Amino acid sequence: MSKRLIFHIDVNSAYLSWTAAYLLDKGYQVDIRNIPSVIGGNEEARHGIVLAKSDPAKNYKIQTGETLFSARIKCKNLVIVPPHYDLFKRCSDFMVELLNEYTPNIQRFSCDECFLDFTSMENLYKNPLDLAYEIKDRIEKELGFTVNIGISSNKLLAKIASDFNKPNKVHTLFPEEIELKMWPLDVGELFGVGKKTLKKLNTYGIKTIGDLANFDVDILKYKLNSYGEQIWKYANGIENSQVRKSNYIGIKSMGNSTTTHFDITTKREASMVISSLCETIGMRLRKNKSCFNVISIHYKTDSFFSRRKQKKLSYFTDSTQDIKKEAIKLFGELWEEEPIRQIGVHVTGLFNNNEVQLSLLEEGNTEKKKNLDKTIDNIRNKYGKYSISTAQFIDTPMPPLCGGINEDDYPMMSSLI
């Protein structure tokens, strides 16, 4: 078997540069990349966090994920632009279209990240670096934004390489370069090491990725269980997962949640929000030709305490009515009457429709329900997602559908590559 060749492509400050290019195109005078700016939600709607930041904003030590409130304290003149997810999806699609000219072996890892597998394509592409520069330059020239490309023999190392020095750069991180290029990095930079694990590792005297790589793996296993071994392997560059052409197949769970503009305080309000969340899940399930048999509801109170309750059903279903019925029932059992700011519904135990025994479906999916869902899906696909809704939403400020249904081509990331 020949050595694998993997590229990781990462759009530099994706949300921010996509928005910047769009605004310039619309005649906006200022390039928000050159001033302190962030892409962030709307504080009135309680979506007040930083999703992406410009380089000048970075100089104010503004960080992704922090509140707009605190970002504004750090920089008085901060420009805040709300996210346009449709735009992001379009930009992402354009990039993948271009990448498809080079290889069909593409894994969309998130909206702004892809893995490409060029293994055994030496005849087509002689020099990986030349290839990377060509791709990078074409994206910049033809699409108007810059990317970093990391090259290695597995996904983990390629991903770390693309993160090295930004923007608009190509880096390699082959196994023989690990000691020089990766081991000196702070251990918190390693994929899989978050805040909590970082703190623990520091108490063991582990500061750099090199420290972790050379630590006794048995002690790590004892202290952190399987996760200890996992990150030890990562620190040594050991990772061999495949570039999966489509995440769309094999998705394991699906969820939809929202932070409401105002606290939910009545069961009626809760039921309406839950219903609207379930509409979207139902559509996505049917689009994905999946059904499920485990449902869970979770919520966050006004004081950020969370609760969650799940239930395994005795049947598989993809019916919106069933999802609503079970979710609302679960909510009734879970809710302790606290004011709620965020609420969500998740389904797991996903199965391909064809693989589920008919007898297990029968209880959930009667012909009548199926036809109803199908009709509604068709109307929405044809006339837009708000073209039809149940009567309970009339004369209320609640949206009848909540959450996107276009993102399922590349479900967002997990903590595993």
Partner DNA sequence: TCTGGGGTCCTAGGACCC
Task: Tell me whether residue 199 is exposed, middle or buried, using C-beta atoms within 10 angstroms of its C-beta: 0 to 12, 13 to 18, 19 or more.
Answer: exposed
Based on the shown chain and the rule CB under 7 A, indicate whether residue 413 belongs to the binding site for DNA: yes
Q: Where are the beta strands (DSSP E) in 217-368?
A: 253-264, 290-301, 306-317, 340-348, 351-352
- Give the distance from CA 222 to its chain's centroid: 31
Residue nearer to DNA on the CB measure, 24 or 221: 221
Based on the shown chain and the rule CB under 7 A, indicate whether residue 344 belongs to the binding site for DNA: yes
Strand partners, 311: 295
User: Residues of 277-295 as b/e, b for ≥16 C-beta within 10 angstroms?
Assistant: bbbbbbbbbbebebbbbbb
CB 369 within 8 A of CB 321: yes
In this chain, which stretch among 60-68, 118-126, 136-144, 268-276 interacts with DNA, using CB under 7 A? 60-68
In angstroms, the CA 241 to CA 98 distance is 24
**Binding-site string for DNA from residue 28 to residue 57, where x marks contact by CB under 7 A and - marks none:** -------------x-x--xxxx-x------
Based on the shown chain and the rule CB under 7 A, indicate whether residue 296 belongs to the binding site for DNA: yes
**Binding-site string for DNA from residue 243 to residue 282, where x marks contact by CB under 7 A and - marks none:** --------xxxxxxxxx-----------------------
Strand partners, 26: none
In angstroms, what is the minimal distance from the CB of 371 to DNA?
25
Q: Within 82-101, which residues bind DNA (CB under 7 A)?
A: none
Based on the shown chain and the rule CB under 7 A, indicate whether residue 196 belongs to the binding site for DNA: yes
Residue nearer to DNA on the CB measure, 31 or 408: 408
Based on the shown chain and the rule CB under 7 A, indicate whether residue 404 belongs to the binding site for DNA: yes
CB 268 within 8 A of CB 393: no
Contact with DNA (CB under 7 A) among 226, 266, 354, 359: 226
Based on the shown chain and the rule CB under 7 A, indicate whether residue 12 belongs to the binding site for DNA: no
Q: Identify how many contiguous H helices and E strands the chain contains and give both numbers.
A: 14, 13
Based on the shown chain and the rule CB under 7 A, indicate whether residue 19 belongs to the binding site for DNA: no
Give the 3-state secondary structure of residue 149: strand
Contact with DNA (CB under 7 A) among 307, 325, 369, 370: 307
Q: Within 102-161, which residues bind DNA (CB under 7 A)?
A: 110, 112-113
Based on the shown chain and the rule CB under 7 A, indicate whether residue 7 belongs to the binding site for DNA: no
In angstroms, the CA 361 to CA 315 distance is 6
Task: Tell me whether residue 314 is exposed, middle or buried, using C-beta atoms within 10 angstroms of its C-beta: 0 to 12, 13 to 18, 19 or more.
Answer: exposed
Based on the shown chain and the rule CB under 7 A, indicate whether residue 359 belongs to the binding site for DNA: no
In angstroms, what is the minimal distance from the CB of 193 to DNA?
5
CB 28 within 8 A of CB 47: no
Q: Do you find a cis peptide bond into 167, omega within 30 degrees of 0?
A: yes
Based on the shown chain and the rule CB under 7 A, indicate whether residue 194 belongs to the binding site for DNA: yes
Give the 3-state secondary structure of residue 294: strand
Based on the shown chain and the rule CB under 7 A, indicate whether residue 74 belongs to the binding site for DNA: no
Contact with DNA (CB under 7 A) among 34, 58, 61, 70: 70
Q: Which of 66, 97, 101, 113 is catalytic?
A: 113
Strand partners, 8: 115, 150
Contact with DNA (CB under 7 A) among 3, 30, 34, 69: 69
In angstroms, the CA 144 to CA 147 distance is 10
Strand partners, 342: 259, 300
In angstroms, the CA 178 to CA 185 distance is 10
- Known catalytic residue at 113: yes
Based on the shown chain and the rule CB under 7 A, indicate whether residue 311 belongs to the binding site for DNA: yes
Based on the shown chain and the rule CB under 7 A, indicate whether residue 195 belongs to the binding site for DNA: yes
In angstroms, the CA 158 to CA 172 distance is 7
Residue nearer to DNA on the CB measure, 108 or 131: 108
Active site residues: 113
Task: Give contact residues for DNA (rule: CB under 7 A).
Answer: 41, 43, 46-49, 51, 65-67, 69-70, 110, 112-113, 190-198, 225-227, 251-259, 284, 294, 296, 303-304, 306-312, 341-342, 344, 346, 348, 403-404, 407-408, 411-416
